[in-house]
Amino acid sequence: MKDSLANADLGAMGRKTMLHPVSSVADLARTGPTLYTRAKGTILEDAAGQEHIDMGAGLWCVNVGYGRPELVEAGAEALRNLSYQHHFGNSAAKDTVRLSERLVQLFAENAGAGHLNRVFYGTSGSDANDTAYKLVRYYNNLRGKPAKKKIISRIGSYHGLTAAATSLTGIDAYHKMFDLPLPDVLHTSCPHFYRYAENGESEAQFSARMVRDLENLIEREGPETIGAFIAEPVMGTGGVFLPPPGYFAKVQALLDKHDILLIADEVITGFGRLGHWFGTGAFDLKPDIVSLAKGLTSAYFPMSASMISDRVYDVLAAKSDETGAFMHGFTYSGHPVGSAIALANIDVIERENLVEQASEAGSYLLRALRQATADTPFVGDVRGMGLMIGIEYVADKATNTPFPEGTAPHKVVSKHAFDHGVLPRALPFLPVNSFSPPLNISREEMDEGVARFAHALEAAGPDLEKLQG
Ligand SMILES: Cc1ncc(COP(=O)(O)O)c(C=O)c1O
């Protein structure tokens, strides 16, 4: 009784005092926040005491699951020893140096990327992409190519929400009202076969068309003006889009031909999510900059890392005495507590073979979700790689007709899912629910989560029928 009164008070307080990210201001005023109180493994408990299977691992980030004593201990010890150390002026914390060495090794040994030998730190995926955006300018200014700084991204991509990262993001909803994107960011076609293939087009033909679109854009703008291409190996927030066959090999060749850097945004795909350590290795990419965050610390601490290639670093090094200091960085770049937690997190991933586990669990969950939704008229496609899975809704499965513009069937399903104690995410671009649980989710939890989701989908049926138009 006392607790629920306290929760009611907090709800009222939150309603009065907070502005939430990517949330409806009006809904908060109407209903107040949904409060959560604790989490363990893959189970999240809300303030009413209801348990939910967290099929999102937060925002695709709690890779090793909630409440890991090893990570808590590593953070506590770091706080006791050296609660803060900045990295300006070439100062350093020991664990941050250790982490850098470990990341360089992981990329060399597990992603075929021995050319990524420098690490720069921040605190979020967005700031890692801002760092990439600025590095492209810096590198090309140093090379005497000041015109070569436009960055090409893709429609449907998500790269974060600082000003440059919002611009790189290819989803209009994040641009409008903020007068973005910035003028030096361009967007090319979204390589999502299920939704954007033309009638009768094979996957190979679709893939070739996507690369042609990119090539046409480069040629239209002039390759001498294009500094970089940014891509998530598997597109996440847009709707879980896997690259069509041959896509990245052809893109990479095109970028090489025009001296354009590849930025791999591995904020979601890094640290095992795809059943590979990194998307870079999974798709044989040769990026010059890799953005990492989320799974780096399993979100026990806000931390990002940018892996930087020898080709880019060598230019910075060669021109350093002439140019002066690299004038970029943040108060919390390379935070010692985040570094200690990241090291403990990587230990857990290695010790428990969570990368292989993600691959096996991912196949199991994909199969289970396909089976559970096979007879549902509104589920058009269930796809995924590792523990990154998406379910796309359509008004008519037989013809793949989308739901009418302005409806949100996936949000309707998510609401029912919450009531049934399972949390998939409702994404902002296409009507897709994503499933990206902690990598150590058990078979029993997957079975239970899929069963709850199937019940939620059934309960959502009448609401979805109303949306059909
Ligand atoms: C691929 C990708 N890049 C960047 C970001 C931004 O990360 P953050 O929210 O930590 O700024 C996200 C967040 O979901 C992401 O999915």
Q: Which atom of ligand 1 is nearest to the CA of 304?
A: 10
Q: In sequence order, what are the residues at sequence separation of 6 or more whose Cβ sits closer than 8 angstroms to the Cβ of residue 211?
A: 247, 250, 251, 254
The predicted-structure confidence for 313-363, as pLDDT tens digits, reads as follows 999 999 999 999 999 999 999 999 999 999 999 999 999 999 999 999 999
Contact status, residue 92 vs residue 334, Cβ threshold 8 Å: yes
* Joined tokens for residue 225: 């003006």
Ligand 1 centroid, distance to 247 Cα (angstroms): 23
Which CATH number applies to 71-351: 3.10.105.10, 3.40.640.10, 3.90.1570.30, 3.90.105.10? 3.40.640.10
Contact status, residue 283 vs residue 271, Cβ threshold 8 Å: no
* Joined tokens for residue 346: 């990587």
The predicted-structure confidence for 407-418, as pLDDT tens digits, reads as follows 999 999 999 999
Q: Is the pLDDT reported for residue 5 higher than 80?
A: no
Q: Give the N- to C-terminal CA distance of the chain in Å, as an integer.
A: 45
Smallest CA separation from ligand 1 atom 7, residue: 125
Q: Which atom of ligand 1 is nearest to the CA of 125?
A: 7
Query: For residue 142, what are the CA distances in angstroms to 120, 137, 314?
Result: 18, 8, 11
The superfamily (CATH) of domain 34-64+353-467 is: Aspartate Aminotransferase, domain 1 (3.90.1150.10)
Contact status, residue 411 vs residue 366, Cβ threshold 8 Å: no
Ligand 1 centroid, distance to 169 Cα (angstroms): 10
**In testing the pocket of ligand 1, which one of 23, 121, 126 has its CB within 8 Å of the most ligand atoms?**
126
The CA distance from 220 to 23, in Å, is 38
The predicted-structure confidence for 285-318, as pLDDT tens digits, reads as follows 999 999 999 999 999 999 999 999 999 999 999 9
Q: Which atom of ligand 1 is nearest to the CA of 59?
A: 14
Q: Which atom of ligand 1 is nearest to the CA of 161?
A: 11
List ligand 1's pocket residues with C-beta within 6 A: 59, 124-126, 129, 158-160, 232, 236-237, 265, 267-268, 293
The predicted-structure confidence for 377-428, as pLDDT tens digits, reads as follows 999 999 999 999 999 999 999 888 999 999 999 999 999 999 999 999 999 9
Nearest alpha carbon to residue 388 among 245, 281, 171, 241: 241
Contact status, residue 168 vs residue 153, Cβ threshold 8 Å: yes
Smallest CA separation from ligand 1 atom 13, residue: 160
In the chain, which residues fall in CATH 3.40.640.10? 71-351
Ligand 1 centroid, distance to 129 Cα (angstroms): 9
Ligand 1 centroid, distance to 266 Cα (angstroms): 9
pLDDT, mean of residues 433-456: 98
Ligand 1 centroid, distance to 4 Cα (angstroms): 34
Q: Is the pLDDT reported for residue 1 higher than 50?
A: no
pLDDT, mean of residues 90-109: 98
Going across the sheet that includes 116-122, the strands are 116-122, 304-309, 289-292, 261-265, 226-231, 150-154, 185-188
Smallest CA separation from ligand 1 atom 3, residue: 159
Report the SS3 class of residue 122: strand
CB pairs under 8 A, 24+ apart, for 31-40? Answer: 34/418, 35/7, 35/10, 35/11, 39/66, 39/67, 40/65, 40/66, 40/67
Q: Is the pLDDT reported for residue 375 higher than 50?
A: yes
